[in-house]
Amino acid sequence: MKKIIAIAFFILYANFSFACSTFLLKRNEKLVFGKNYDWVTGNGMVVVNARGVQKTSFTATGEKSISWRSNWGSITFNQFGKEFPNGGMNEKGLVVELMWLPGTKYPPKDNRAAMNELQWIQFQLDNCSTVDEVIATDKIIRISNDNFAPLHYLIADANGNAATIEFIERKMVVHKGKDLEHPVLTNTVYNDALIQLKENIETSFDNSVQRFSIACTMVQQFQTLPENENAVNYAFTILDKVAQGSYTKWSIIYDIASLQIHFKSNDINRNISFDQFDFACNNKTPYFNLNNPKSGMVFNSFNTLSFLENKNLLFQSVKENSQQLNIPELVINNAAEYFNEVKCK
C-alpha cells in the first residue's frame, strides 16, 4: 500500500519541471532566505508542526523505517498534506527548500532507513538545527528509490551557513563553505550552473541558468547597498526578477534572524512570526489555507487542521493537476491516513 503511495508521489511530480528559485542573503545581522515556488497549481497550506510528536518514516513495502520524536517545531508550506512539505523553517532557524532537478538519482537500497523526498524535509526540520546536522543524517537515512521525483535542496541555518544537497549518480553531493561560491539554486546541477555562470551565459536560452545568473548577481549586489537596505524587500525584488509569470504560485521569504516568514500567493502579501505560535504538542495542527484572501499579519486566521481538511487538500491538489495525472482515490485516502499516524509522545 505504501509503495503505491510512493509511486503516486512520483506521478504527481514527474509530469512537470519545477522552475523554482532559491537564494540566501547574508550581511551582518541580516539573514534572509528567498524561494519562488513555480508550479501548475498554488493550492496548499501553511502548517504549524509541533515538537514532541512521534513519527515513523513513510516507506515503501520491504524498506527499513525509522521512528523519531520531533525535537523542534516548524512552519512549513505543504501542497500534498501534513508531514509532506515543500519546504519550511524550524524554530532554530533552519530552512530547507526543494527544487526540481532532472537527472537526480537517489542512493540504492542499503541498511539505512528510507523515506520519501518530501518527508525528508520534515525529518530535517524535526531533528536538526544546523546545516552540518542535516548533512550528517545521510549516515542514517536516505530518500527511497521508490520516490523518483528528481529534487535537490538548498538549506541554511541561523549561523549563516548554507549548503546545496544533490543526489548525483546515487550519492549525496554537497556544496557548502568555500565550495558554495553563490548561495543560489535553481533547476540545474550546482556545479554546472556555476561553470556556465563563469563562462558568461547572458545569451543562454536555458531558463534555469538565466535565473541562476540573475539571482547570483543580485545577491552579490546586496553587499554594496546601504546598511539600512530592507533585506526582506530586496529579497522580494529578486524573486520578482526570476518569477515565471502565472506559474509562480508562492513567493516566500524566511527572515531567519527574526524568525519571521513573509509570503505571497494569489498576489496577496502576508506575514507571520514564530513567537505567535505555541509549538508544544497537543495533537492539534494550526494551518492557514493559501487560498484564504486574508492579507497582512494572518496569525488570527490559522485554524485547526482536521483529517477531512487534510484529505480534501490532497483531492484538490490532484484535481488541479487532472490533465497531467490520474491518481486513484484509494491512493489519496491512504496518503491522507498518515495524518492519523503521528501523535504526541
Is the pLDDT assigned to residue 53 strictly greater than 50?
yes
Q: Return the pLDDT at 12.
A: 43
Write out pLDDT tens, residues 82-114.
999 999 999 999 999 999 998 899 999 999 999
d(CA 220, CA 149): 31
pTM higher than 0.75? yes
Polymer length in residues for the chain: 345
Please name the fold of domain 2-344. Penicillin V Acylase; Chain A (3.60.60)
Residue 72: pLDDT over 90: yes
Average pLDDT rounded to a whole number, residues 260-273: 97
pLDDT of residue 201: 57
Pull the grid cell for residue 72: 523542534
**Element spanning 335, H or E:** helix 329-337
- H/E/C letters for each residue in 198-246? HCCCCCCCCHHHHHHHHHHHHHHHHCCCCCCCCHHHHHHHHHHHCCCHH
Q: For residue 146, name the pLDDT band (cuts at 50, 70, 90).
A: confident
